[in-house]
Structure 1
Amino acid sequence: MTETTGRLRGGDADAGESDADTPTRETLTFDHPGGDSLELAELLTGRSMARRLPSLIRRTFALAWEVDRTAVVWLLACQLVSGVSAALGLFATTAAFSVLIDTAHDPGRLGTAVPAVAVLAGAAGLRALLGIVIQGLSNRLSPRICREAEYRMLEAATNAEQAAYDHPGFNDRYDAAERGVDVSQDMIGQSQNYISSLATLVAAGVVLATLYPLLLPLLLLAAVPQAMAAIRGERVTYLAVVATHKDRRVMSMLRWHLIAKEQADQVRTDTLAPYLLDKYKASAKRVEATNDRAAWERAKIAVVGAVATGLVSAVVWGAVLLLLGTGRISAASAGTAIFALRSAGTGLQGLVGYGRDLLRTGLYLDDWERFVTEAAGQRLERGDIVPDRPRHIALRDVVFRYPEAERDTLRGVDFDVRQGEIVAVVGENGSGKSTLMKLLSGLNLPTTGTVTWDGVGVADLEAQAMWKQTSVVPQVFARWPMTARENIHLGQPRKEGERAVLAAARASGANDVIQTLRSGMGTLLAREWWGGVALSPGQWQRIAVARAIHRDAGLLIMDEPTSDLDPRAEHRIFTGLRALTGDRAVVLVTHNLANTSVADRVVVMEKGRVVQSGTFHELIGRPGLMQDLWRLQQDRDAYRPGGDS
């Protein structure tokens, strides 16, 4: 499941239980960054909309300008012509009404209405045609804007330091930025609809001001109650969305846990479904109650708005009739004024509706911009020295602390590995082994101290060139939805071609897996893709090891490379590990201490420090952490039948 951001907070004890009897219980609440926030509700006022919307439209067209300038020019030109044609149509209405009124006394003059009617028809037809063109241009720009926003986000993320992902909230902000990418394609359509509504309103205002200047303030008077009711109604609806957000996210999470394959067996064997369904119903009832209150509140606002609009309309109609009765405007002008007022009302409704949509989309676009800016601020800024295969990698007095962590993960670490050497790293969980691997490979830079490849600090090396000399089998390895062959060569085949892929597969035991696949190396390894094949965790691990071997880099890091393998497959890899050294430096992380016997040296870590170093036999033969762990791993007397428990 994605999209949700969970935060644990201290919760109250159950009703009837005292704080003294019940420990503090943390409850899961969701804090989703992005458009579903009170920030938008605060912007849903006439003043805020007038202040923020122009900048949103400028940003939208600036992004569109970068992806397709020709389409933007045509879109704006069509909007301008459409607005002018709307005004011409209203002006032609006056002429048509005048002729029609005159023909009531002189039918012979009916033919004089043809030019005005032709202008009306032409304006209507032109606007319809322009609407089609505008829609087509918007459809052309939308996916391009989305693609550009997505590319910028991906480019910023993939070129940021690995440490960026360790900053609290970075992944949350990435999720929010993805939503910004998704809605970016709506921005151009919403912007052009807003501009179109504004053009309609302006055209009506120009016509009314031309007919009789007093009609323009009447237009504004008629617009006020409609606008206020629409904005207040949208605010109530949106506040309900915000109020129910957490419950809706909980419902989404529960739906996923109830039906997803990953835990479908446990939902059944633990008979958990009724309990989770009760939680789902409780959240659903809270959502329904909030929505009911919002619906009632919006209905009251709509009634008040309708009454106010009716009263103001009566004033407007009275003013039009007064102007008509006193001869200040003609009957034809009065008819045109009626059409203009209706047109203005339509434009006003569009301004409120499309303006609300733009505000919400704009907040998500803000999330996108914030993430791109943040990732750019953590962009890889390394040196330009291109390394050869490393002969000696050394850490000296290295300290490393993750962003905003309370304590150092590594403290005063000295470590060496040389070409042709296997160094095993062991230690209990949380001792800093995986962090050490990230420093060796240059994924992270030390907080203090130095990490050097052949005497050159990793910060001075060209990052991509350094990683080309690095092969890693991480604890959690990628299972790419590609063929078996692609999963091994990763789009970077060696000059030996297929022979290199087959050799790597044989060395890891992956060839035994591939031989059973229906299309061999060409089999798609993705069950969720139509026609794909699913592998077991152990089979996938063989593929991951083959991938690292095929890379033929100068530094090979294997972090628990056989955790899912059976004894035969594990034996195959470790007996062949020595043959892999040659001109490689090999670092092995493992909890199976027997496997460290293949290493030239074993480094023992405890609480972020190196506490022992030596050969396997030296370390298990002298007091220390390695000997303690070895004895615990060999002690199985308590598990024998009849043994003490």
Structure 2
Amino acid sequence: MTETSQTTAEAADTRPDDEPEQHDEELRYSFPGDKRREVGESISTRTMIRRLPQLIRRSLALAWHADRRSTLLLLLAQAASGVFGALALYATTGTLTALLRPGPVTDHLRAAAPSLTVLTASAALRAALGIAVMTLAGRVAPRVNREADLALIEAGCSAELAAYDEPAYNERWESADRGAATTPDLLASAQDVIASTVSLIAAAGVLATLNLWLVPFLLLGSIPAGLAAVRTARIHYIATITTNDERAALRFYRWFLIDKQRADQVRSDQILPFMMGKYRAAEARIVAITDRAGTQAARVSLLAALATGTGAALMWGALLVLVSTGRIGLAAAGSATFALRTAAGGVQGMVGNGARLYRMGLYLDDFFSFLDEAGGHRIARGDLVPEPPKRIDVTALTYAYPGEQQDPALRGLDLTLHQGEVVAVIGQNGSGKSTLLKLLSGLYLPQPGGGQITWDGVPIGELEADALWTNVARVPQEFARWPLQAAENIHLGHHDADPHQPVKDAAALTGFDESVARLRSGWRTLLAQGWQGGAELSGGGWQRAAVARAFYRTHRRPGLLILDEPTSDLDPRAEHKILHALRDLAPGRITLLVTHNLANAKLADRIVVMDQGRIVQTGTWHELADQPDGLFRELLDLQQDRALPGQRRPA
């Protein structure tokens, strides 16, 4: 076996001999309040019967919201189909009675003609209604799915940013997404339950008019199937939630392997065999659980099939007894045969489709729960509308990300920012700079007992979220590369009647206009490589666009301007241009600049130096540079030390 084909288990056992044995950590998580297993264990025939009306109402409500006219026509068509089905059964009785009585055949046919006409017309109309139902359902289902997707996206974007740091939120999103995907099938199952119910009622009505003793025998062929359907639904649902962790890990591994951003490293680092080993190990655990669930479900279904066959034999035996004892005539027996078959099909359809509907309803619960709560993190702040802040105060700010092994990202920060001031934030990786910026801009809120941030004396949690963000312009480290036109990548839909000149003005401050001038369709060029007509920018071109986007936004609404490493991918000329523009933009707004290039911090009025979540130094560039010690002096010396080992001479 080669080194690159080693299994996950072999790869995991690579610790030094003197290292204490520890448990390997895998991509698994659990979260408090997860009651899905309890729900799965509680699945029973009683709960299914109790919940079916609610699920049918929910599915019809979704359909009604998506397309009222088609939903109404669908219900009317199903009801009419049931009525014509009952007429067909009654007409069958009349036809058989006329054909089986003594006398000439001509008289029989003449007597059966009205019933045959009704039977033929009912069959034709039922066929036409069946086509109409299928057409209407095909029209409504994609609309329901679209509405569900839109509602889910809206709910997801209405969650606090901090939700993305919580495994519980990610799991609830996955569950809700699965629920949204089931909405077309949910409607189809609800429709099948309704159709089966209408068919059963029609057939049971016919049987009751023929002989009341036939009605109870319908249950003999349906109870075992119903119990089995509920039991198998429970087995499969529990298997699904048991493997959720593994399935999430598979999606995660898959994304890391096929994502364009890491495609080069997948190849050059030759990590594919190692990661595929982990993938196969997780997949094997899923297969083992699902195989076991399939075996259990098959065993239950086999027992149900035997019981159903026995019940059917009893039902047909009862019919023979009624005929042989003269309690019903031969014509009525023929009609009863058709009615029994129709009713049995209706019962089995109700049970089978009802169990499927109930099972999908469990996922739909996750969907509606997410819509109500946005995974427990729906934005629910104050309603005060802020003006552009003249002063921002940070008091005793402490912030920790979720995770038992996580140290606080920020520890007791105190900071005051003033309008018109440019503040540079300096520090090593992991010092808490980006976290501080997200808190200052209201993307994160201070945690309970973790201090506070105020805009002009008002805690940011009391400000209306969208109104707050209207006053914020940001360039994050991982800026978005929107698949939009070049101009749209700047204004992002926030513009007046004519956005072109303000967009061009902002682009000129960063040099992005030069990148656009080289594009085939200029400002109308789609920046989405791989799509028809799409183009791609260089890393520096995209960074110019991201900074121009922030400059455009802050021109529209001066407030808080935040730039987190805005020139990391730029050449010296573009960097010089942006930094000079930043200085010119300073009046009327609070400006924060994060940079690892300490020379760039010279443009700041004040420098804040962070280390391990704390502010360890503040001052102007010259004040900090003149200090004989301190972190700023250390970083400056390291940045200026460019002594390299001498080139070796050939032997």
TM-score (norm 2): 0.86
Which residue pairs with 1:124 in the alignment?
123
1:536 paired with 2:538, answer yes
Which residue pairs with 1:61 in the alignment?
60
Whether the aligned pair in 1 keeps the contact of 2:30 and 2:168 (CA below 8 Å) is: no
Q: Which amino acid aligns with 2:24?
A: R
- Residues 376-385 or 531-540, more deviating: 376-385
Q: Which amino acid aligns with 1:630?
A: L
Which residue pairs with 1:418 in the alignment?
418
Q: Which amino acid aligns with 2:334?
A: G
Tell me how far apart the structure 2 counterparts of residues 18 and 451 of structure 1 sit (CA, whole Å): 49
CA RMSD of aligned residues (A): 3.7
Change (3 A) 1:529 1:357: farther
Tell me how far apart the structure 2 counterparts of residues 27 and 168 of structure 1 sit (CA, whole Å): 14
- Residues 342-351 or 229-238, more deviating: 229-238
Match among 515, 523, 532 for residue 521 of structure 1: 523
1:558 paired with 2:566, answer no
Deviation at 1:339, TM superposition (A): 1.1
Whether the aligned pair in 1 keeps the contact of 2:160 and 2:377 (CA below 8 Å) is: no
Which residue pairs with 1:28 in the alignment?
27
Tell me how far apart the structure 2 counterparts of residues 114 and 326 of structure 1 sit (CA, whole Å): 30
Which residue pairs with 2:434 in the alignment?
434
Which residue pairs with 1:3 in the alignment?
none
Q: Which amino acid aligns with 1:634?
A: Q
Which residue pairs with 1:600 in the alignment?
605
Which residue pairs with 2:469 in the alignment?
467
- Residues 78-87 or 256-265, more deviating: 256-265
Whether the aligned pair in 2 keeps the contact of 1:413 and 1:609 (CA below 8 Å) is: yes
What SS does the aligned partner of 1:430 have?
A: coil
Deviation at 1:486, TM superposition (A): 0.8
Whether the aligned pair in 1 keeps the contact of 2:97 and 2:331 (CA below 8 Å) is: yes
Deviation at 1:186, TM superposition (A): 2.9
Which residue pairs with 1:77 in the alignment?
76
Which residue pairs with 1:625 in the alignment?
631
Deviation at 1:504, TM superposition (A): 1.6
Tell me how far apart the structure 2 counterparts of residues 390 and 137 of structure 1 sit (CA, whole Å): 55
Q: Percent identity?
A: 47
Change (3 A) 1:224 1:372: closer
- Residues 253-262 or 514-523, more deviating: 253-262
Q: Which amino acid aligns with 1:50?
A: I
Which residue pairs with 1:393 in the alignment?
392
Which residue pairs with 2:621 in the alignment?
616
User: For 1:574-624, what per-residue CA distance to the aligned partner results, in whole angstroms no more than 9, with x for missing partners?
Assistant: 233322223332111112212111111101122332221111111122121
Whether the aligned pair in 2 keeps the contact of 1:138 and 1:189 (CA below 8 Å) is: yes
Which residue pairs with 1:481 in the alignment?
483
Tell me how far apart the structure 2 counterparts of residues 23 and 377 of structure 1 sit (CA, whole Å): 34
- Residues 243-252 or 543-552, more deviating: 243-252
What SS does the aligned partner of 2:513 have?
A: helix
1:500 paired with 2:502, answer yes
User: For 1:481-520, what per-residue CA distance to the aligned partner results, in whole angstroms no more than 9, with x for missing partners?
Assistant: 1011111122223677423222222211212322222122
User: For 1:306-337, what per-residue CA distance to the aligned partner results, in whole angstroms no more than 9, with x for missing partners?
Assistant: 44333333322222111111100111111112
What SS does the aligned partner of 1:526 have?
A: coil
Change (3 A) 1:232 1:497: closer
Deviation at 1:404, TM superposition (A): 7.4
Q: Which amino acid aligns with 1:412?
A: G
Deviation at 1:95, TM superposition (A): 1.3
Q: Which amino acid aligns with 2:582?
A: L
What SS does the aligned partner of 1:443 have?
A: coil
- Residues 322-331 or 194-203, more deviating: 194-203
What SS does the aligned partner of 1:384 have?
A: coil
1:135 paired with 2:137, answer no
Deviation at 1:528, TM superposition (A): 3.9
**Structure 1: 5+ residue runs without aligned partners?**
1-9
Deviation at 1:362, TM superposition (A): 1.4
Whether the aligned pair in 1 keeps the contact of 2:91 and 2:118 (CA below 8 Å) is: yes
Tell me how far apart the structure 1 counterparts of residues 419 and 279 of structure 2 sit (CA, whole Å): 58
Deviation at 1:545, TM superposition (A): 0.5
**Structure 2: 5+ residue runs without aligned partners?**
1-8
Which residue pairs with 2:190 in the alignment?
191
Change (3 A) 1:230 1:524: same
Deviation at 1:43, TM superposition (A): 6.1
1:578 paired with 2:580, answer no
Q: Which amino acid aligns with 2:48?
A: M
- Residues 328-337 or 315-324, more deviating: 315-324
Tell me how far apart the structure 1 counterparts of residues 50 and 202 of structure 2 sit (CA, whole Å): 22
Change (3 A) 1:347 1:44: farther
Change (3 A) 1:48 1:554: closer
What SS does the aligned partner of 2:569 have?
A: coil
Within 5 Å, which residues of 2 pair with 1:30-49? 42=41, 45-49=44-48
Change (3 A) 1:204 1:502: same
Deviation at 1:180, TM superposition (A): 2.3
What SS does the aligned partner of 2:616 have?
A: strand
1:221 paired with 2:220, answer yes
Change (3 A) 1:19 1:172: farther
Q: Aligned pairs, how many?
A: 632
Whether the aligned pair in 2 keeps the contact of 1:423 and 1:603 (CA below 8 Å) is: yes
Deviation at 1:473, TM superposition (A): 0.6
User: For 1:73-107, what per-residue CA distance to the aligned partner results, in whole angstroms no more than 9, with x for missing partners?
Assistant: 44333333322322222122111111121267654
Tell me how far apart the structure 2 counterparts of residues 175 and 297 of structure 1 sit (CA, whole Å): 27
Change (3 A) 1:182 1:423: same
Change (3 A) 1:341 1:234: farther
User: For 1:317-368, what per-residue CA distance to the aligned partner results, in whole angstroms no more than 9, with x for missing partners?
Assistant: 2221111111001111111121122112222332233223312321222112
Which residue pairs with 1:352 in the alignment?
351
Change (3 A) 1:200 1:105: same
Whether the aligned pair in 2 keeps the contact of 1:159 and 1:380 (CA below 8 Å) is: no
Q: Which amino acid aligns with 2:630?
A: G
Which residue pairs with 1:569 in the alignment?
574
Change (3 A) 1:196 1:276: same
User: For 1:515-571, what per-residue CA distance to the aligned partner results, in whole angstroms no more than 9, with x for missing partners?
Assistant: 222122211111143221122322211110011111212321111111222333223
TM-score (norm 1): 0.86
Deviation at 1:51, TM superposition (A): 2.3
Tell me how far apart the structure 2 counterparts of residues 459 and 301 of structure 1 sit (CA, whole Å): 55
1:446 paired with 2:451, answer no
Tell me how far apart the structure 2 counterparts of residues 299 and 401 of structure 1 sit (CA, whole Å): 49
Q: Which amino acid aligns with 1:621?
A: D
Deviation at 1:446, TM superposition (A): 3.1
Q: Which amino acid aligns with 1:420?
A: G
Change (3 A) 1:445 1:302: closer
